[in-house]
């Protein structure tokens, strides 16, 4: 297992060595170089070690997938408990999330909604939720215990909604739509649509869920969200312009690991992190090594999924989503990026897992 893992990551370690030499030559801060290396190593470890686990043992795919799913279900329950606690004890949500972040060291995105009792609850690794929703539909269609799969799907959908991220919502809707279209025939599609519509109407109009959903969605894409989205997008624009300017200064070999733009800093601890990590990695790696990095990942994705056109197509979609997420948040490398690429690398194995249950 260890030998297979090392063999898979050798090209990425060689690339890391080149990046390290460039960073040292540029005179970047040692602590930031180390932190950037940490993110890179976490990325390749999560993505490729889990992949080796899937390929090494017939039960490996089930163990890896189920472990990830259970972790996210636990996070969904934690979000619900946070909301209940804040409501029951009248604790300001912002203060509660600050205390959680300070005590656990886990940064949590925060934003108010139009409802005082609903607050943005987003963990750093939440972008993986859309991929779990995609495979949960497959699990629902192939498994015998559909009630559990439906309950898990509902929990993760709520967790996704509470992220209040337009990008996550968009990808979640896209992957759920694709899975729904692929997994169900026409009669099942009609049954699911009719049943879901009836349940939605009953829940929305016999409880306060309608008002809660309206407040959450309105806080991000409604008229009330104009100012908040404007400043959020303006910050991205400022960072993007600064990153592109820095990239043009050293376009071939880049600025090196740990580089940050003075005066344009998103995170005081890890100053090299920017909203568009895809662009910031281009700035750090340079054009040549950035292309080598993306192609190296993509070749592994193709190698693991080339057996059928459908597997290859969806794996490529996952790869593109990984790049897209990296363009709107610092999600390209690190644990989150590693988990997303895990799904791209193992799309065929996961499909086979659920196909074997039918």
pLDDT in tens, 121-170: 888 899 999 999 999 999 988 876 888 988 999 999 989 988 888 889 88
Above 90 in pLDDT, residue 50?
A: yes
C-alpha–C-alpha distance, residues 86 and 206, integer Å: 24
Above 50 in pLDDT, residue 94?
A: yes
Q: Could you report how far apart the first and last alpha carbons of the chain are, in Å?
A: 30
Name the token pair of 273.
Answer: 């992190």
C-alpha–C-alpha distance, residues 138 and 249, integer Å: 47
Nearest partner of 5 among 40, 41, 47, 52, judged by Cα: 52
Above 70 in pLDDT, residue 62?
A: yes
Q: Are 265 and 274 a contacting pair, CB within 8 Å? A: no
| Percentage of the chain lying above the pLDDT 90 cut | 51
Q: Are 239 and 275 a contacting pair, CB within 8 Å? A: yes
Q: Are 322 and 341 a contacting pair, CB within 8 Å? A: yes
pLDDT score recorded for residue 268: 81
What band does 201 get if pLDDT is binned at 50, 70 and 90?
low
C-alpha–C-alpha distance, residues 50 and 196, integer Å: 35
299-333 residue pLDDT tens: 999 999 998 999 999 999 999 999 999 988 888 89
pLDDT score recorded for residue 190: 61
Mean pLDDT throughout 18-27?
Answer: 95
What band does 275 get if pLDDT is binned at 50, 70 and 90?
confident
- Per the model's pLDDT, the better-predicted residue between 294 and 193 turns out to be 294
C-alpha–C-alpha distance, residues 73 and 58, integer Å: 24
pLDDT score recorded for residue 353: 87
Residues 6+ apart with CB under 8 A from 310: 182
Q: Return phi, psi of residue 120, to 5°.
A: -65, 125
């Amino acid at each position: 297992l260890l030998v297979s893992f090392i063999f898979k990551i050798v090209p990425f370690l060689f690339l890391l060595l080149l990046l390290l030499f460039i960073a040292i030559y540029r005179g970047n801060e040692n602590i930031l170089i180390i932190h950037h290396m940490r993110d890179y190593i976490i990325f390749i470890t999560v993505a490729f070690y889990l992949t080796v686990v899937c390929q090494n043992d017939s039960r490996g795919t089930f163990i890896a997938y189920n472990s990830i799913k259970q972790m996210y279900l636990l996070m969904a329950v934690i979000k619900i408990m946070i909301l209940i606690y804040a409501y029951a004890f009248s604790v300001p949500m912002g203060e509660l999330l600050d205390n959680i972040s300070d005590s656990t060291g886990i940064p949590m995105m925060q934003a108010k909604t139009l409802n005082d009792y609903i607050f943005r609850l987003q963990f750093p690794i939440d972008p993986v939720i859309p991929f779990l929703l995609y495979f949960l539909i497959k699990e629902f269609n192939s498994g015998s215990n559909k009630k559990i799969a439906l309950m898990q799907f509902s929990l993760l959908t709520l967790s996704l909604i509470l992220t209040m991220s337009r990008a996550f919502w968009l990808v979640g809707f896209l992957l759920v739509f694709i899975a729904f279209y692929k997994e169900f025939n026409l009669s099942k599609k009609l049954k699911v649509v009719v049943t879901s519509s009836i349940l939605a109407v009953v829940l929305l109009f016999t409880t306060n869920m309608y008002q809660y959903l309206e407040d959450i969605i309105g806080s991000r894409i409604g008229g009330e969200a104009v100012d908040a989205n404007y400043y959020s997008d303006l910050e991205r624009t400022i960072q993007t312009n600064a990153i592109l300017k820095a990239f043009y200064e050293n376009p071939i070999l880049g600025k090196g690991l740990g580089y940050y733009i003075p005066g344009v800093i998103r995170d005081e601890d890890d100053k090299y992190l920017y909203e568009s990590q895809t662009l910031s990695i281009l700035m750090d790696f340079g054009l040549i090594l950035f292309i080598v990095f993306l192609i190296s990942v993509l070749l592994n994705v193709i190698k693991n999924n080339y057996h059928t056109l459908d597997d290859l197509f969806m794996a490529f979609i996952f790869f593109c989503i990984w790049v897209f997420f990296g363009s709107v948040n610092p999600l390209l490398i690190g644990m989150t990026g590693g988990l997303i690429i895990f799904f791209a690398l193992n799309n065929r194995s996961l499909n086979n897992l659920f196909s074997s249950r039918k």
